[in-house]
Chains A and B, each alone.
Chain A
Amino acid sequence: MAKIETFYEVMRRQGITRRSFLKYCSLTAASLGLSPSFAPKIAHAMETKPRLPVLWLHGLECTCCSESFIRSAHPLAKDVILSMLSLDYDDTIMAAAGHQAEAIIEETITKYDGQFLLAVEGNAPLNQDGMSMIIAGKPFSEQLNRVSQHCKAIISWGSCASWGCVQAAAPNPTRAVPTHKHPGIANKPIIKVPGCPPIAEVMTAVIAYMITFEKIPELDRQGRPKMFYSQRIHDKCYRRPHFDAGQFVEEFDDEYARKGYCLYKVGCKGPTTYNACSTIRWNEGTSFPIQAGHGCIGCSEDGFWDKGSFYDRLSGIHQFGIESNADEVGGTAAAIVGGAVAVHAAASAIQRATSKTDQGDS
């Protein structure tokens, strides 16, 4: 097996100073929620461990995961991890094309069999024999299955690979399935990093964690790294005091919206969405949807497209008509039962009155 460069060597080769490198290690430790003593450990791992080859496959997707990734707040994370990836295979940003590019997959499989990471962006459609997603003349699902047989672990980037996202929204005409439900996928650990797209720092930190500790991060029951997906947007939202006080935006553009009150009543999905937006934020920590005055739409949650309007708290229940929700269904049922009770009570009273009259007569 060919000698693989370490991360440090890749960085130095790209003209990054040691000082910048150490800064990067501290930043990564901080973003992973580790104590300062872990910064030297990360540095040591980067200096000594051969870099982890990554194959980044693209299925049915919109490339928002890649777009997010290249905007990571730590320029070094972007430079280092991205250049590391592009060395191998990422059909959106790699230099190679056509047969050359496809040859890289075969090369990686033979050179690093069982050692490389498979990152999947997007998912595979199954209907029409997978013809809705063709890569190099073959259905994407074949490529996905083949590569998954040889990888070490799989990262499902974004909501597409994690849950299905928009292409799997009802009625899902192409029968797009997330990675873990794909028939024939190898039995390898799958790390879900949902979000549409996931936060750039979360993506780079997940990879940095695996490089440093040579193991996958601790996952919750649904396969998401606990360090970023263990709390809801609501739990750390800076507008939470307004929620607790009972101060809500009643409609967009009202006085309360200008005052920055809680967006719960205009459908914010923060209380049901597990992600790190309210702590890490976006675009180098500049802002996140709620800070910009729009409720969370719950993009990192399973099936968020099929839960009714983004502007209602309650999910749509389409079995009872396209516009109905729990309150309408329940309220209507309660009203019907209440009405039936009233009618029954009236009928009972009449019957009792008549039977008493009968008894009086007899």
Chain B
Amino acid sequence: MSDSSISTDMSHEITKHTEAVYVYEAPVRIWHWVNALAITVLCVTGYFIGAPLPTMPGDPSSSYLMGYIRFAHFASGYVLAVGMIGRIYWAFVGNHHAKQLFIPPITKEHIKGMIHEARWYAFMEKESVKCVGHNPLAQAAMFTMFVFGTFFMIITGFALYGEGAGMGSWQYEYFSAWVIPMFGASQDVHTFHHLGMWFLIIFIIAHVYASIREDIMSRQSMVSTMISGWRMFKDNRP
């Protein structure tokens, strides 16, 4: 990238740093791993709610398999939703990197950076950009896939939960009551909730792969940053 890329502006994080920078504060790191666990449980249990395991033998009173699977799904759903609220709160009180997740990358410099990163992934650039927070392409994926996808799943998820909780429950009044008519029928909400799972799975594949690849090939640390909070840089060049 050009030399002009040094900036303290939080929306543009391409940097000249050469030393380690403390990026992800403890609440963000804890949230990340709790969230990862919740999403994993949600995907597995959600899939088995849609396509249940083979029939259980014996008397119905002796097993409660679907009940437990659904319980795990609902409990993880609450963890995801409460975690998201906490994460939004931290975007206000945390350091400026905590805000980046919720900012759509739409400035000119973002787009320039995105093109550079896209070329880097296409083997057309020799070096990645150096970023303290997310690289511009990652920021775009985070916003359009993760943030949008998760909000979509939380809203449709509570709408479906409200169906079981019943009319009069807050889940029904605040979610089901408008989400179901918006999609047309309950069946459509189920279908889109199901598609949403695959949308997030695609994000996870790309996210895990890109983090590990960047950790090895880019100019900064990735995986360890989400554990320790510190971003390490591998070179002193801008």
Contact surface of A with B, Cβ cutoff 8 Å: 220-222, 226, 230-232, 235, 241-250, 256, 261, 264-265, 269, 271-274, 298, 301-304, 307, 313-315, 317, 325-327, 329-331, 333-334, 337-338, 341, 344-345, 347-348, 351-352
Contact with A along B170-197 (1 / 0, CB 8 A): 0000000110110011111011001101
A351–B61 CA distance with the chains assembled, in angstroms: 59
User: A241-B60, A256-B55 are contacts. A333–B186 as well, Cβ < 8 Å?
Assistant: no
Q: Within 8 Å of chain A (Cβ to Cβ): is B65? A: yes
Residues from chain A with Cβ under 8 Å of B206 in the complex: 337, 341
Q: Within 8 Å of chain A (Cβ to Cβ): is B123? A: yes
B50 and A313 contacting across the interface, CB-CB below 8 Å: yes
B191 and A326 contacting across the interface, CB-CB below 8 Å: yes
A245 and B63 contacting across the interface, CB-CB below 8 Å: yes
Contacts A/B (CB < 8 Å), 20 sampled: A221-B178, A245-B67, A246-B66, A247-B60, A256-B55, A261-B55, A273-B186, A301-B185, A301-B187, A315-B187, A315-B188, A325-B191, A326-B198, A327-B51, A329-B195, A331-B198, A333-B198, A334-B205, A341-B209, A351-B123
User: A326-B194, A341-B205, A351-B123 are contacts. A248–B185 as well, Cβ < 8 Å?
Assistant: no
A347 and B185 contacting across the interface, CB-CB below 8 Å: no
Residues from chain A with Cβ under 8 Å of B166 in the complex: 230-231, 235
User: A269-B187, A314-B191, A330-B195 are contacts. A345–B209 as well, Cβ < 8 Å?
Assistant: yes
A2–B181 CA distance with the chains assembled, in angstroms: 43
A72–B50 CA distance with the chains assembled, in angstroms: 36
Closest to B59 in A: A245
A170–B112 CA distance with the chains assembled, in angstroms: 45
Residues from chain A with Cβ under 8 Å of B178 in the complex: 221
Closest to A326 in B: B194
Q: In the complex, what's the smallest C-beta–C-beta distance from B229 to chain A, in angstroms?
A: 27
B60 and A245 contacting across the interface, CB-CB below 8 Å: yes
B191 and A315 contacting across the interface, CB-CB below 8 Å: yes
Contact surface of B with A, Cβ cutoff 8 Å: 50-56, 60-67, 69, 121, 123, 163-164, 166-167, 177-178, 180-181, 184-188, 190-191, 194-195, 197-199, 201-202, 205-206, 209, 213, 216-217
A249–B177 CA distance with the chains assembled, in angstroms: 32
Q: In the complex, what's the smallest C-beta–C-beta distance from B184 to chain A, in angstroms?
A: 5
Residues from chain B with Cβ under 8 Å of A307 in the complex: 185, 187-188
A-B pairs, 7 with minimum CB distance:
A330-B198, A246-B65, A326-B194, A272-B186, A245-B60, A272-B187, A246-B56
Closest to B63 in A: A245
Residues from chain A with Cβ under 8 Å of B191 in the complex: 314-315, 317, 325-326
A244 and B197 contacting across the interface, CB-CB below 8 Å: no
A289–B132 CA distance with the chains assembled, in angstroms: 61
Indicate which residue in B55, B64, B201, B216 contacts A248 across the interface (CB closer than 8 Å).
B55
A302 and B185 contacting across the interface, CB-CB below 8 Å: yes
Q: In the complex, what's the smallest C-beta–C-beta distance from A333 to chain B, in angstroms?
A: 6
A241–B205 CA distance with the chains assembled, in angstroms: 37
Residues from chain A with Cβ under 8 Å of B177 in the complex: 220-221
A261–B59 CA distance with the chains assembled, in angstroms: 11
B167 and A330 contacting across the interface, CB-CB below 8 Å: no
A341–B195 CA distance with the chains assembled, in angstroms: 20
A261–B57 CA distance with the chains assembled, in angstroms: 11
Residues from chain B with Cβ under 8 Å of A249 in the complex: 55
Residues from chain B with Cβ under 8 Å of A298 in the complex: 185, 187
A249–B54 CA distance with the chains assembled, in angstroms: 9
Residues from chain B with Cβ under 8 Å of A269 in the complex: 187
Closest to B51 in A: A327
Indicate which residue in B52, B180, B187, B216 contacts A264 across the interface (CB closer than 8 Å).
B52
A327 and B185 contacting across the interface, CB-CB below 8 Å: no
Q: In the complex, what's the smallest C-beta–C-beta distance from A270 to chain B, in angstroms?
A: 11
B205 and A337 contacting across the interface, CB-CB below 8 Å: yes
Closest to A244 in B: B67
A334–B198 CA distance with the chains assembled, in angstroms: 7
Closest to A273 in B: B186
Indicate which residue in A222, A231, A271 contacts B181 across the interface (CB closer than 8 Å).
A222
Closest to B203 in A: A337
Q: In the complex, what's the smallest C-beta–C-beta distance from B227 to chain A, in angstroms?
A: 22
Residues from chain B with Cβ under 8 Å of A315 in the complex: 187-188, 190-191
A264–B49 CA distance with the chains assembled, in angstroms: 10
B52 and A242 contacting across the interface, CB-CB below 8 Å: no
Closest to B184 in A: A302
Supplied contacts A315-B190, A317-B195, A344-B121, 11 more A-B pairs, CB within 8 Å: A244-B60, A244-B64, A244-B67, A246-B64, A249-B55, A301-B185, A302-B185, A307-B187, A329-B195, A330-B195, A337-B206
Q: In the complex, what's the smallest C-beta–C-beta distance from A196 to chain B, in angstroms?
A: 14
A246–B45 CA distance with the chains assembled, in angstroms: 13
Residues from chain A with Cβ under 8 Å of B190 in the complex: 271-272, 314-315
B186 and A274 contacting across the interface, CB-CB below 8 Å: yes
Q: In the complex, what's the smallest C-beta–C-beta distance from A224 to chain B, in angstroms?
A: 11
Q: In the complex, what's the smallest C-beta–C-beta distance from B173 to chain A, in angstroms?
A: 10
Residues from chain A with Cβ under 8 Å of B184 in the complex: 302-303
A195–B50 CA distance with the chains assembled, in angstroms: 25
A348–B185 CA distance with the chains assembled, in angstroms: 46
Residues from chain B with Cβ under 8 Å of A325 in the complex: 191
A112–B133 CA distance with the chains assembled, in angstroms: 73
Indicate which residue in A232, A329, A338 contacts B205 across the interface (CB closer than 8 Å).
A338
A303–B217 CA distance with the chains assembled, in angstroms: 51
User: A232-B163, A246-B65, A338-B205 are contacts. A330–B55 as well, Cβ < 8 Å?
Assistant: no
